[in-house]
Amino acid sequence: MSRPGFVLEVDRSTPPILFHQGEGFRLEKLPAGSRVVYPAEPVAPLADPDGAIRQALLHPVGDSQPLPSLLHAGMRLTIAMDNQAVPLPPMARPDNRQRVVEIVLDMAAAAGVDDVELIIAHGLHRRQTEAELRHMLGDRIYDAFAPHGMLTQHDAEDHDNLILVGRTDQGEHVEINKRAVTSDLLIYVNVNLVAMDGGHKSTMTGLTSYRGLKHHHNVTGMQHSRSFMDPPNSELHNSVWRQGRLLASAVKIFQIETTINTDTFPSQFSFLQKREWEWSPRDRASYLAVSKSLERVPPRMARSIFHGMKSPQKMTSVQAGEVEAVHQLTLENVHRQHLVPVHGQADVLTMGLPYVGPYNVNSILNPLLVMCLGLGYFFNLYRGKPLVREGGVVIMSHPTRWEFHPVHHPSYIDFFEQVLAETTDPLEIEKKFEEDFATDPWYIHLYRNSYAYHGVHAFYMWYWGAHALQHVGQVIIVGGEPRAVRRMGFKPASTLRDALEMAEDVVGRDPSITHMHNPPIFISDVT
Residues contributing to the site for other proteins (CB under 8 A): 48-50, 93-94, 98, 105-106, 109-112, 114, 116, 138-141, 143-145, 147, 413-414, 417-418, 421, 436, 440-442, 445
**DSSP label at residue 20:** E
Closest distance to other proteins from the beta carbon of 98 (Å): 8
In the complex with other proteins, the residue whose CB is nearer, 104 or 326, is 104
Closest distance to other proteins from the beta carbon of 94 (Å): 5
Give 271-325 as a DSSP string.
GGGS-GGG--HHHHHHHHHHHHHHHHS-HHHHHHHHHT--B---EEEEEEESHHH
User: Facing residues of 37 across strands?
Assistant: 7, 516
* Amino acid at residue number 210: Y
In the complex with other proteins, the residue whose CB is nearer, 42 or 519, is 42
In the complex with other proteins, the residue whose CB is nearer, 55 or 495, is 55
φ, ψ at 45 (rounded to 5°): -80, 170
- With beta carbons less than 8 A apart as the criterion, state whether 513 and 350 touch: yes
In the complex with other proteins, the residue whose CB is nearer, 148 or 509, is 148
In the complex with other proteins, the residue whose CB is nearer, 141 or 466, is 141
Closest distance to other proteins from the beta carbon of 67 (Å): 14
- With beta carbons less than 8 A apart as the criterion, state whether 194 and 521 touch: yes
In the complex with other proteins, the residue whose CB is nearer, 356 or 419, is 419
Report the distance separating Cα 58 and Cα 307, nearest Å. Answer: 37
- Write 102-109 long-range contacts (CB < 8 A, 24+): 102/138, 102/140, 102/141, 103/50, 103/53, 103/54, 103/57, 104/57, 104/67, 104/79, 104/187, 104/189, 104/256, 105/79, 105/141, 107/57, 107/67, 107/68, 107/71, 108/71, 108/77
Report the distance separating Cα 427 and Cα 432, nearest Å. Answer: 9
CA distances from 205 to 22, 24, 176, 187 (A): 28, 33, 9, 15
In the complex with other proteins, the residue whose CB is nearer, 50 or 132, is 50
- With beta carbons less than 8 A apart as the criterion, state whether 19 and 518 touch: no
Q: Which of 375, 333, 365, 474 is nearest to 45 (CA)?
A: 333
Closest distance to other proteins from the beta carbon of 191 (Å): 16
In the complex with other proteins, the residue whose CB is nearer, 143 or 295, is 143
User: Facing residues of 525 across strands?
Assistant: 341, 383
Closest distance to other proteins from the beta carbon of 439 (Å): 8
- State CA 164 to chain mean position distance: 27
Closest distance to other proteins from the beta carbon of 55 (Å): 15
Treating both helix axes as pointing N-terminal to C-terminal, what angle do 96-110 and 49-58 enclose, rounded to 10 degrees? Answer: 50
Report the distance separating Cα 168 and Cα 165, nearest Å. Answer: 10
In the complex with other proteins, the residue whose CB is nearer, 31 or 94, is 94
In the complex with other proteins, the residue whose CB is nearer, 114 or 295, is 114
- With beta carbons less than 8 A apart as the criterion, state whether 141 and 93 touch: no
Instruction: For the chain, report the end-to-end CA distance as a whole number of angstroms.
Output: 27
Closest distance to other proteins from the beta carbon of 519 (Å): 23
3-state helix, strand, coil in the chain (%, to 5): 40, 20, 40
In the complex with other proteins, the residue whose CB is nearer, 115 or 322, is 115
Closest distance to other proteins from the beta carbon of 222 (Å): 24
In the complex with other proteins, the residue whose CB is nearer, 179 or 517, is 179
**DSSP label at residue 13:** T
- With beta carbons less than 8 A apart as the criterion, state whether 136 and 95 touch: yes
Closest distance to other proteins from the beta carbon of 355 (Å): 25
Closest distance to other proteins from the beta carbon of 31 (Å): 36
Closest distance to other proteins from the beta carbon of 159 (Å): 18
Closest distance to other proteins from the beta carbon of 93 (Å): 5
